[in-house]
């Protein structure tokens, strides 16, 4: 039952020092709040173990009479903060902060059933398992916990997630999205550009910009880009071909669109956007099964990090990765008057 969190902590700390996710203009993963929030605490009753040699027996007996339930992430026993002090063992979760002492000391309670325990007292411990190293460091200030690092999340939190080649890929298509936004501006449209790219072949599938000010309020850049993808597969709804006012709107022509294993909606595609999409567009990307979204500037009502996080919304049947801040030093210039 002895834990050595200190050792693990040092190893983690060293790697953690290289993290700096707020570099200007570099892609930053937008993760669900649970990975970013401060840890929540809960009161538990603990007791000192009078004789350390009895620890194994006490823990074994407590496992039967008082299982940890939803606190499985806690190590059952810890050495109290002063070195060589008594061992402390978790008894049970306090039902409310103001639990009456007589209730605590009732005959059925573990410290009555299990021999060798001192008087129970309240301690604050982490209520849920830590999901990131940062939460882990925070958690062990209160009580030693088990930590099973999610490698994918850890990688997403690191600045080294993207190779130089990836970063070049992102920069290239963000630059194209910015050029499209500039074109939109010359057409009296909102300066929002969108580029859909096949992430495995790196081929552009569609190039779009915002058209909502051209008469139809639903023609946001993302909606236009998605329909152009449909055109590339022999479908589509809105007529852009032969639209001489907007020759910059483009789509590829995909072969095999009618094969059972041909392209299906936006599966396997990335989209590059100058600005964070709204809730309609973010959900349109869920329906379209997009793979990844890269955007430059955030928007206060945006649905991929600001007002909502549609890409990690519980209950939805498709989730995609989102990276904000991409080339934001450039995209911010598009929205400086906002």
Binding residues for other proteins (CB under 8 A): 216-218, 223, 226-227, 229-230, 233-237, 257, 260-262, 264-267, 278-281, 283-284, 286-289, 299, 301, 307-308, 310, 313, 315-317
| Least gap, CB of 279 to other proteins (angstroms) | 5
Q: Are 170 and 326 in contact (CB under 8 A)?
A: yes
Cβ-based nearer residue to other proteins, 132 or 275:
275
Distance of CA 246 to the CA centre of its chain: 37
What minimum distance in Å lies between the beta carbon of 289 and other proteins? 7
> What is the DSSP pairing of strand 269-275 with strand 193-198?
antiparallel
The minimum distance between CB 50 and other proteins, in angstroms, equals 53
Ramachandran quadrant class, 242 (left: phi over 0; alpha: psi -120 to 50; beta: rest): left
Report residue 154 as tokens.
């850890």
Whichever of 170 and 224 has its CB closer to other proteins, that residue is: 224
Q: Assess contact for 194 and 222: CB atoms under 8 A.
A: yes
Least distance to other proteins, CB of residue 253, Å: 13
Q: How far is the CB of 158 from other proteins (least distance, A)?
A: 31
* Minimum distance, C-beta of residue 131 to other proteins, in the bound complex (Å): 23
d(CA 115, CA 124): 24
Burial of residue 77 (CB within 10 Å: 0-12, 13-18, 19+) is buried
Q: Are 333 and 174 in contact (CB under 8 A)?
A: no
**Beta carbon of residue 284, minimum distance to other proteins (angstroms, whole number):** 5
Q: For other proteins, which is the closer residue by CB, 4 or 261? A: 261
Are 314 and 322 within 8 A, CB to CB? no
Any residues with CB less than 8 A from the CB of 217 and at least 6 apart, and which?
A: none
Between the CA of residue 238 and those of 12, 183, 216, 219, what are the distances in Å? 52, 20, 11, 10
């Amino acid at each position: 039952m002895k834990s050595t969190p200190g050792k693990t902590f040092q190893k983690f700390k060293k790697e953690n020092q290289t993290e700096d996710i707020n570099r200007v203009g570099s892609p930053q993963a937008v993760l669900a709040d649970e990975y970013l929030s401060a840890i929540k605490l809960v009161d538990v009753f603990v007791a000192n173990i009078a004789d350390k040699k009895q620890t194994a027996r006490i823990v074994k007996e407590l496992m039967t009479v008082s299982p940890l339930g939803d606190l499985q992430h806690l190590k059952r026993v810890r050495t109290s903060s002063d070195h060589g002090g008594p061992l402390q063992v978790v008894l049970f979760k306090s039902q409310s902060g103001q639990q009456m002492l007589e209730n605590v000391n009732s005959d059925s309670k573990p410290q009555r059933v299990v021999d060798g325990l001192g008087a129970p007292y309240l301690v604050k411990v982490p209520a849920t398992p830590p999901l990131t190293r940062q939460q882990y460091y925070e958690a062990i200030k209160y009580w030693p916990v088990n930590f099973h690092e999610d490698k994918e999340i850890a990688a997403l939190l690191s600045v080294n997630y993207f190779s130089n080649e990836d970063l070049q890929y992102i920069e290239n298509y963000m630059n194209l999205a910015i050029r499209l936004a500039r074109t939109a501006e010359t057409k009296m449209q909102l300066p929002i550009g969108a580029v859909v790219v096949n992430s495995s072949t790196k081929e552009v599938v569609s190039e779009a910009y915002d058209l909502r000010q051209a008469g139809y309020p639903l023609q946001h850049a993302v909606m236009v880009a998605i329909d152009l993808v449909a055109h590339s597969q022999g479908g589509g709804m809105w007529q852009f071909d032969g639209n001489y006012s907007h020759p910059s709107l483009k789509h590829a022509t995909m072969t095999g669109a009618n094969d059972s294993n041909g392209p299906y909606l936006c599966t396997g595609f990335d989209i590059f956007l100058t600005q964070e999409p709204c809730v309609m567009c973010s959900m349109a990307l869920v329906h379209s099964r997009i793979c990844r979204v890269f955007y430059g500037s955030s928007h206060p009502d945006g649905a991929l990090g600001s007002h909502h996080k549609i890409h990690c919304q519980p209950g939805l049947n498709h989730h995609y990765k989102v990276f904000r801040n991409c080339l934001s030093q450039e995209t911010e210039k598009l929205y400086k008057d906002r």
